[in-house]
Chains A and B, each alone.
Chain A
Amino acid sequence: MILGDAHREFQAKVRDFAAKEVAPRACKMDNDGEFPWDLVKRLAELQLTAIYVPKEYGGAGLDTLHYAIAVEEVGRVCGSTGIFLAAHSSLGVFPIYYAGNEEQKQKWLLPLARGEKIGSFGLTEPDAGSDAAATKTTAKRQGDNYVINGVKRFITSGRIADVLIITATQDPSKGYHGISAFVVEKGTRGFSCGKDEDKLGLRASITSELIFEDCVIPRANLLGKEGDGFKIFMETLDGGRISIGALALGIAQGALDAAVAFSKVNKKSGTPVYKLQSTQSMIAEMATEIEAARLLVYQAAALKDAGMPYVLEAAMAKYYASTVGMKAANRAIDIHGLLGITDRYPVERFIRDEKLMEIGEGTSEIQKIVIARQILGK
C-alpha cells in the first residue's frame, strides 16, 4: 500500500524516535522486567498515547493507520514498548472513547489520551480466556453504587494503570447479555493487584492479576448501559486486533532488519553471509511475507478509518502477521547461527516477544473462527 505524505512523514518521525530512544535500551528493559517511566513520558510528549483520538479529547487527532504505523515502528525495536502502547491506546483509551459519555470522556479520556494517566483493560479471567463471555466477576447494584467481586488475569499494564476498564456480569444466567463494562480507578478500596506474570517475552511489559473484593464504584463509572459490556469488548477487540497485527508486523520487521544487518557485517567461511544463496532465500521469503502482512494490517486500519466493515480484515491481519512473524523471527535466529541464541543479538528476544501475538487479544484459533464465520456468513 502506498502511503501518502502525511503518513510517511509520521512514519519517519516515529522510526527515528524508536531507533534513537527505544532501541538502545530494549535489551536492558527485557532483562530488568520493568517498564521505564521516562519512556511513558516521552511517548506522551510525542503524542503517541492516543494517536487516533481527536485533539479535543487530548489525542493527536490522526487516524488508525497512523496508529498502526506507530505500533509497528516501535515494535520493530522493542516488543514491550509496542505492547504497552497498543494496550494503552486500544484497550485503555478506546472503550471510553467509544462508549463513554461526555462527563466520562472529560474525566478519564482526556488524561489517558494525553498520556498523563495509564490505561488498562480487564477482560480475561483465570477461567475465561478464549471464552471471554464466561466472566465470573460480578457487579451488584447497591443504591448509587456497584459492588465488584472477582479476579482478572493476564492484564497488560494492570499494576501500573491509573484507569482500568473491566467487565463484570450482573446476571450470569443471561450469558453475555448480562455483562457490563465499568471504570475502576487505581487506589479504589477493594481493588488490588496480585502477582505479575513471569513471561517468555514482552518482559518489560507488566502483566497483572486484578483482585476485586467488595470493590465499590459509583454508578457514574458504568460505560454505556447495563448489558453493553459484550458489545463494548467485542468492538474493543476488533480494533485491538489491528494493533496486535501491527505489533506482530513490527517485531517481524525488526527480526528481518537484524538478519540483514548481521549478514552484511559478518562472514561465513570467508564469504559475506549476505552473499550466500541460502541467506538470500530466507531473506526473500521473510521480506515477501512481511510485506504481505503489512498490506493486510494497513488495509484493516484504512477500512476502519473509512468507516467500512473491517472485522474480517483485522482478524486476517492479526492471524497472518503473527504467523509469518514467528516464521521470520525463527529464520532470523538461524541466519545468526549459534550466536542467535545469545542476548548479544536481539533476535532471540524478537521470537520470544512475537509468540504472544499468536495468543493475546484472541488466539490464532479464535481468529480463524472469526475469519471463517465472516467468510461463511454464519
Chain B
Amino acid sequence: MTLMKMNSAQKLIRGEVKKFTATELEPIASNIEKERRVPQDVFRKISEMGLFGLTMPEEYGGSGLDVTSLCVALEELSQSCASLAMMVAVNNCMVIYPLVRYGSAELKKEYLKKISDGCIGGFAPYSDIEVTGRECVLESDGDKSYLSNRYDVVLNGAAADFSTIPVRSDQGLSLYLVEIGVPGVTAAAIATMGLRGAGIASLEFKHRALTAEKRLVGDDSGDQAIQSIIDYAHIGFSAIALGLTQAALEASKKYASERKQFGRPIAEFPMIQEMLAEMKIILEKSRLLVYEAADRCVTNEDFRMAARIACLTSCEGAVQTALKAIQVHGGYGYTKDYPVERYFRDAKSLQLLGETPVDMKAKIAKEILL
C-alpha cells in the first residue's frame, strides 16, 4: 500500500513501528534468533505500543484497529525481526480473532483480559498430516475428558500463557483453550529452521483434564472455525512475507552497490540487475495482493480467496527473493555476517505455518470450480 492511501491511524502506526524497529529492534534482531527469545524489555515495549492487542476491541482493552493497520505494523516489524512480527500476528489473528468471534462471554472476559494485561496466547495449527505411531488419546469421564497428545508445532508456545489447541474426537474437531505451564502440560522449545525467536514450541499433554467451559468451539464446527482462523491469519502472514521481501531487496541493493569485482560494483552487471529487478517485481506484486486482501476483510467482503492468493504469492516470493539475495551476496550471503540467510530461513518457515502451498492451490482451484 502506498503511503498516500493510508489513513491517519495507519500512518501513525507505521511511523511509530518504523522508528522502534530501526532504533531498538534492528540492532538486536540477530541476537533474538541466537538466544531464541525476545528480551523482556522489547516484549514489554511491543506490548505498551499496543501491538499484541492491535485488533482487539477497545472494550476489552485493545487498540480496536483493523487488519490493514495490523499489516502495516507487521510489514515494518518483519523487516528487522520476522520472529517478533510472527508473535504479533499469531496473537492477533489466531488468538484474539477466534476469541472475539467464537468465545463465550466468560472466555472473552478471562482471556482477552489476560492479553490486555500483557500476556500472549498460542495456537497449535491443525496439521492434517498424521504422523504414524502417535495418536491423540481422549478419554471421557462424565463431563470431563482427559487429553494425552503431543502438538509438534505450537506458535507462540514458548512465550504464551495459554494456547488454543485442536482436539479431534469421534464427534469431530473442537478447539480448547488450555493453560501452559500447569501440571500435565509441558512446553518444549523445538529447533525450527527459521523464526527461531518466535517461541515456536511443542506442547505435550499427559492426561490433562479438558473442561467444557474451556471449549472455544464445539465438535460440529471445529473444522470450519480452524479454516476461518487460518484464512484470517493468511493476511497477517502475507504481510510478514512482504516485510521480509522488502528487507531482502534493501540488503541486496546495498551490497551490490558496495561490493566491487572486476573493477566495478557488481550492481553494474546485468545478471545482478536482473535479480534485483525480479525481487522488485515480486515485492510490488505481493504488496498489491496483501493490501487488497486486507481491504476486502475490512470492508466485510469475502476475503478468503484473496488472502490465499496473497499469502501464496508473498510467501513464495519471500523465499525466492531471500534466495536471490543470498546469491547476490555470494559467499558472504551464506554466512551469518549478513542477515539474508536469516530472511530465507524465516521466509521458508513462515510459508509452511499456514496452509501448505499445495493445499492453498487445491482450495483456490476448488473455489474456481464452484
Contact = CB atoms under 8 A, between A and B. Distances in A.
A333 B358 CA distance: 12
A16 interface: no
Q: Which 3 A-B pairs have the closest CB atoms?
A: A200-B341, A348-B193, A131-B261
Contacts of B334: 197, 199-201, 355-356, 359
Contact of B335 (A129, A200, A334, A360): A200
19 contacts: A31-B191, A127-B260, A130-B262, A131-B262, A153-B331, A198-B336, A200-B344, A268-B130, A269-B130, A330-B348, A337-B129, A337-B356, A338-B125, A338-B356, A339-B153, A340-B352, A351-B348, A352-B193, A363-B330
A342 interface: yes
Interface string B115-159: 000000000010111111000000000000000000011000000
A153 B153 CA distance: 38
A62 interface: no
Interface in B322-355: 323, 326-327, 330-331, 333-337, 341, 344-345, 348-349, 352-353
A139 interface: no
Interface in A139-170: 153-154
B350 to A, nearest CB: 9
Given A198-B335, A199-B335, A200-B344, A334 B129 contact: no
B327 A338 contact: no
Contacts of A270: 130
A127 B334 CA distance: 16
B323 A326 contact: yes
Contact of A278 (B269, B333, B358): B358
A358 B323 CA distance: 10
A338 B271 contact: no
Interface string A345-359: 000100110011011
Given A267-B132, A268-B128, A333-B348, 14 more contacts: A124-B331, A129-B261, A130-B330, A153-B331, A200-B345, A267-B129, A269-B130, A326-B323, A334-B356, A334-B358, A337-B127, A339-B131, A341-B349, A368-B271
Q: At the interface, is chain B mostly helix, strand, loop or mixed?
A: mixed
Contacts of A113: none
B73 to A, nearest CB: 24
A64 interface: no
B107 interface: no
Contacts of B362: 278
Contacts of B269: 365
A330 B330 contact: no
B331 A360 contact: yes
A341 B353 CA distance: 9
B261 A334 contact: no
Nearest to A335: B358
Contacts of A375: none
A266 interface: yes
Interface string A365-376: 100100000000
Interface residues on B, range: 35 or more
Contacts, number: 126
A31 B191 CA distance: 10
B357 interface: yes
A312 interface: no
A248 interface: no
B185 to A, nearest CB: 20
A273 interface: yes
Contacts of A326: 323
Interface in A107-144: 124, 127-131, 134
Contacts of A368: 271
Contacts of A330: 319, 348
B130 A341 contact: no
Nearest to B335: A197
A326 B362 CA distance: 24
A154 B331 contact: yes
A344 B193 CA distance: 11
Nearest to B271: A365
Interface in A74-88: none
A343 interface: yes
Nearest to B34: A198
A208 interface: no
B39 to A, nearest CB: 21
Nearest to A198: B336
Interface in B243-269: 260-262, 269
A178 to B, nearest CB: 16
A201 to B, nearest CB: 8
A43 to B, nearest CB: 24
Interface string A260-288: 00000111111001000010001000000
B199 interface: no
Contact of A267 (B130, B326, B358): B130
A268 B129 contact: yes
A49 interface: no
B129 A266 contact: yes
Interface in A227-271: 265-270
B352 A129 contact: no
B194 interface: yes
A341 B335 contact: no
